[in-house]
Amino acid sequence: MRIVEEEIARTPGDMDVQAWRARILEWSGKLAEAEQEYLQILRIANKDPDNWMGLGNVYLQEGKAQEASRALDTAIGLDPKRADLRMAHGRALAAAGDLKGARLEFQRALSLDPANQEVRIAQRSVFGEPKNELCVGQEDNAFNFLNPNYDEWLNLQTQWTPHWSTTFVGNFFQWGPAHAAKFQASVGGQLPKWGGLTVGGATAHDSGVIPKTELFFELDRGLKISETRFIRGLEFTYEQHWYWYSDAKVQALAGVALIYLPRDWTFSIGVTEAQATFPGLGNQWRPSETARLGFPDHQSGREAAFWPHLFCNGN
């Protein structure tokens, strides 16, 4: 505030500096003073949507939802293609009791900026987490070494409580001349001492190309270490899966240790053991190991990774 006051004394007509003074008053909790500051600014610079958004945010913190909505509506009229204005307007509409309008504004904000996580967080803070999630997908020409292969799937996940959920999946395969289908169901929960636990199974019209029956369970346990040490956190995952084919049985065991490092780097080590049982051949084990180093790609905003694999054949 001292720096801003010095700038105002040096350039008393600079509305940008004046707006910074209003923001600092808001951040300091001096909402009545911030409101008056914004009103004085808008008498001179009423074509800047940031000033209207600032006034709307102050009104919202003061509990004046209707005034906040009107101020933010004016800001949107000046620049309708800004996702942050739409998000702020959605919050104000929700506080005023207009949930339909708030939902529409959040959707408009996401259409303008689909990758904006702040909008999604604001949306969840108003409407809560969705209880049901339905996903539909199709994969074309997967592993088509000989014939075209297609896979369509339908996934319905329901979050019954903050700790328990169910998932139902239907898969439909066209692998060359064979047509197969699989129905899978699972239950997932968060246990205080064990972490995440998922148990499920599947049955299928196999057509000789997929397992007739499946059972599986997965355990996931995370530990937070520190915000300042080299190792920030650890996550351990163990999965066991049984597959029954028409003439064989396969058991797969997989474990992964994931280490969280500074600057969003990660390092993981995974081990997989698969036991196949064929008539007349007995049990055969096939182990493999994977090490993976992940790091953020700041130019694309995505994660890059490098991972070597080691596969071992033997009984």
- 124 Ramachandran zone, left/alpha/beta (phi>0; psi -120 to 50): alpha
DSSP codes joined into one string, 195-244: EEEEEEEEEEE-TTTS-SEEEEEEEEEEEE--SSSS--EEEEEEEEEEEE
Q: What's the pLDDT at 140?
A: 83
- Mean pLDDT confidence for 273-283: 83
CA 161: distance to chain centroid? 18
- 131 Ramachandran zone, left/alpha/beta (phi>0; psi -120 to 50): alpha
Torsion angle in degrees (nearest 10) through CA of 89, 90, 96, 98: 130
pTM of the complete model beyond 0.85: no
- Mean pLDDT confidence for 219-242: 92
Q: What's the pLDDT at 315?
A: 38
Please give the single-letter amino acid code of residue 199: V
Q: Where in the chain is the domain with CATH 2.40.160?
A: 133-311
Please give the single-letter amino acid code of residue 310: L
> Measured in Å, how far apart are the chain's first and last C-alpha atoms?
73
Residues 6+ apart with CB under 8 A from 199: 186, 187, 188, 216, 217
Q: Residues of the chain with pLDDT > 70: what percent?
A: 92
Point out the least confidently predicted range of 41-50, 149-158, 226-235, 304-313.
Answer: 304-313
Q: Tokens at residue 145, please?
A: 């070494």
**Burial status of residue 281 (CB atoms within 10 A of its CB: 0-12, 13-18, 19 or more):** exposed
Other CB atoms within a 10 A radius of the CB of residue 91 amount to 23
Distance CA 278, CA 214 (A): 17
What does DSSP assign to residue 257? E
Distance CA 59, CA 26 (A): 10
Q: To which CATH superfamily is domain 2-127 assigned?
A: Tetratricopeptide repeat domain (1.25.40.10)
Name the CA radius of gyration of the chain, rounded.
28
Closest C-alpha to 170, from 157, 160, 188:
157
Could you tell me where the DSSP H helices lie in the chain?
Answer: 2-10, 15-27, 31-44, 49-61, 65-78, 83-95, 99-112, 117-127
- Mean pLDDT confidence for 79-107: 92
* pLDDT tens string 231-275: 999 999 999 999 999 888 999 999 999 999 998 899 999 999 999
Residue recorded with tokens 């293609």: 81
Q: Which residues pair with 239 in a beta bridge?
A: 218, 254
Assess if CATH 2.60.120 describes domain 133-311.
no
Distance CA 276, CA 313 (A): 12
Point out the least confidently predicted range of 37-46, 140-149, 214-223.
Answer: 140-149
Q: Which residues pair with 172 in a beta bridge?
A: 152, 181
Residues 6+ apart with CB under 8 A from 120: 110
* pLDDT tens string 234-245: 999 999 999 999
Q: Tokens at residue 199, please?
A: 């148990």
Q: Where in the chain is the domain with CATH 1.25.40.10?
A: 2-127
